[in-house]
Amino acid sequence: MAQQAYMEETDNGGSGPERQSSRFRRLLDRLLTGWSGDPRIWRRGLVVAALAVLLALVMLVHSRIPNRIGNLGSLIETFLPWLGLFVPVLLVLGVVRKSATALIAVVLPAVVWLNLFGGLLTDKTGSGGDLTVATHNVNADNPDPSGTARDVAASGADVVALEELTAGAVPTYEKALAATYKYHSVQGTVGLWSKYPLTGVGPVDIKLGWTRAMRATVATPEGQLAVYVAHLPSVRVKMEAGFTARQRDKSADALGEAIADEPLQRIVLLGDLNGTMNDRALNAVTSQMRSTQGAAGSGFGFSWPASFPMARIDQILVKGVEPESSWTLPGTGSDHLPLAARVKVDTSS
């Protein structure tokens, strides 16, 4: 009898998303039925409805919001996923106001947000790949560089990029990573450690006047791979100037040009780009490369700040290789979380 009752309930309610949708419709029907005697249900909550429509428009046309005033567009794009938090708030306000108009309007931003970010909610990680790479902004003020180096090496990565290296800390990282990585190079404040030989190593000019980017060819067992390491300039949010990112944007354009001119077909970019994949200011880079998190990750993979990650400004981007999985590593002594990805260099099979 209990089994029969369970089967009837399953048959009537469906399963998974269908069941949740059916429950939402029944709840909405009960609410509207309870309010049906009140003719004001369509006139109340117009402000809430207007806010819902505005929220949907901001997410829908975020790339058209101008950057002329305080780089407002880039600022919104940096934290774009978090706008979805306003959807349940508006939903509750619509219920409190007993407004059918508001409840219907809230559907708009919900649909837009799911269209933009719904794919990140599914697990796309795979078990394949032939090379593991990792990147970490170790923080110039890191109190435990040795521990940070050991933590990153313990990830099992074949190739590791470190950013924000200070001259005083470089020997510590070199010593801690020497047993795991036979080959390495430090260029300015960025470095690359590898289990495989490095050739063609050199700085990349990103128009700063000092070195915060580099390039090397890694001779993996599956073939040569061009690896770029970059730490783009920081951005700031100031009351008088807004989102100040002009130098970051200029450096991103220079990095994009270098990658576009890369003679090798298989490329990986590791680093702290101080921007998200949604930020149109990084188009010179992101338009020609894929995010491993978006293609083969699970969730948003936020990396900064480590204490409460709100944005993925650290990136592992690929071109000509296939991302298989992507994940964040446990926190270290840095204010950023390390990132790792498993990629397939040999895509011929």
Q: What is the domain-level CATH number for residue 202?
A: 3.60.10.10
- 242 pLDDT band (50/70/90 cuts)? very low
- Beta-strand ranges (E) seen in 146-266 are 159-163, 183-187, 190-194, 198-203, 213-220, 223-231, 236-238, 242-244
Would you state the pLDDT for residue 35? 57
Rounded mean pLDDT, 31-48? 74
Of the chain, the percentage scoring pLDDT greater than 90 comes to: 78
Rounded mean pLDDT, 103-110? 96
As a whole number of angstroms, the distance between CA 277 and CA 58 comes to 17
- In the 8-state DSSP scheme, what is residue 120? G
Whether 214 and 256 have beta carbons less than 8 Å apart is answered as no
What's the pTM?
0.86
Q: For the chain, first and last CA: distance in Å?
A: 53
Q: Same domain for 63 and 165?
A: no
Please give the residue range of the domain that contains residue 234.
131-344
Would you state the pLDDT for residue 11? 46
Rounded mean pLDDT, 118-138? 95
Q: Same domain for 156 and 279?
A: yes
The bridge status of strand 267-272 relative to strand 198-203 is unpaired
- 5 pLDDT band (50/70/90 cuts)? very low
With CA atoms as reference, report the closest residue to 191 among 126, 255, 270: 270
Q: How many domains does the chain have?
A: 2
Q: Same domain for 222 and 272?
A: yes
Q: Same domain for 70 and 196?
A: no
Q: Same domain for 292 and 151?
A: yes
Instruction: Give me the residues paired with residue 231 across strands.
Output: 272
Would you state the pLDDT for residue 42? 84
pLDDT at 272 over 50: yes
